[in-house]
């Protein structure tokens, strides 16, 4: 039996909603990736900080972590995040850099406002991990569609379970 972790980062709760819907269907464990220092609520300020972190390739500290030992038990990691500046929020990069993914499959899912192909995010995940990234299964959800995905999500998870 494959052991699944749904690990997600979400500030405005769209990705969190998708992660929770996934959990309703496939169960597994859930982990919220959070920045140690809270990001600002003000969008312009947040956008500026996110851009600076991306430019400087920073690895911001996380609020909570899963121990490396506990992480070893998982075979499949469903990794959720919003697209920020056509890429991965740097907080997610910190999470990826912490663990050995060599015996795992990473399945990315993300929410966005137009960058449906995920920008650079998949390449960034590949560059930071030694695990298999199932980019062909990357699951994209526009903000406006978060409440309408139940059917497609079920089909997607079924296809996933047939392969992984
Ligand atoms: C700092 C920042 C940068 C963003 N950059 C992009 C982008 O490049 N492309 C895009 O489609 N959406 C972009 N968005 C929109 C988010 O990806 C989208 O609203 C997402 O659903 C937010 O996820 P969350 O609610 O889980 O935090 C950006 C949002 C923020 C806050």
Report the percentage of the chain scoring pLDDT > 70: 99
Cβ atoms of 146 and 115 within 8 Å: the answer is no
Provide the percentage of residues in the chain whose pLDDT is more than 90. Answer: 95
Confidence of residue 131 (pLDDT cuts 50, 70, 90): confident
Mean pLDDT of 129-141: 94
Residue 11 CB–ligand 1 contact under 6 Å = yes
**Pairing of the two strands 29-32 and 139-142:** unpaired
Could you state, in order of their start, the residue ranges of all structural domains in the chain? 4-163
Find, among 99, 163, 85, the residue nearest to 128 by Cα.
99
Dist. CA 102–CA 132, nearest whole Å: 7
Give the number of the atom of ligand 1 that is nearest the alpha carbon of residue 46.
1
Q: Whose CA is nearest to atom 25 of ligand 1?
A: 12
3-class SS of residue 38? coil
| Residues 83-129 pLDDT 10s | 999 999 999 999 999 999 999 999 999 999 999 999 999 999 999 99
- In the chain, which ranges are E strands? 4-8, 29-32, 76-82, 105-112, 132-133, 139-142
Q: How far apart are CA 68 and CA 52, in angstroms?
A: 29
Assign 61 a pLDDT band (cuts: 50, 70, 90): very high
Structure tokens at 81: 């995040």
- Which ligand 1 atom lies nearest to the CA of residue 142? 21
Q: How confident is the model at residue 50 (pLDDT cuts 50, 70, 90)?
A: very high
**48 close to ligand 1 (CB < 6 Angstrom):** no
Cα atoms found within 13 Å of the Cα of residue 15, Cβ hemisphere only: 30
Rounded to whole angstroms, what are the CA distances from 53 to 35, 48, 66, 111? Answer: 12, 9, 23, 20
Mutational pocket test of ligand 1: of 108, 112, 122, the residue with most ligand atoms within 8 Å of the beta carbon? 112
Amino acid 54: pLDDT: 98
For 36-49, write each residue's pLDDT tens digit: 999 999 999 999 99
Instruction: Tell the CATH topology of 4-163.
Output: Rossmann fold (3.40.50)
């Amino acid at each position: 039996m494959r052991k699944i972790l749904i690990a997600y980062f979400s500030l405005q709760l769209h990705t969190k909603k998708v992660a929770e819907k996934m959990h309703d269907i496939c169960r597994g464990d859930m982990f919220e990736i959070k920045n140690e220092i809270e990001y600002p609520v003000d969008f312009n300020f947040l956008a500026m900080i996110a851009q600076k972190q991306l430019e400087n390739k920073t690895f911001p500290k996380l609020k909570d972590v899963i121990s490396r030992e506990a992480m070893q038990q998982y075979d499949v990691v469903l990794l959720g995040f919003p697209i920020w500046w056509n890429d991965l929020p740097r907080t997610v990069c910190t999470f990826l850099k912490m663990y050995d993914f060599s015996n795992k499959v990473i399945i990315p899912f993300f929410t966005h406002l137009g960058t449906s192909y995920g920008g650079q995010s998949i390449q960034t995940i590949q560059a930071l991990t030694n695990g298999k990234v199932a980019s062909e299964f990357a699951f994209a959800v526009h903000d406006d569609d978060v409440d309408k995905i139940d059917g497609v999500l079920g089909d997607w998870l079924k296809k996933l379970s047939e392969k992984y």
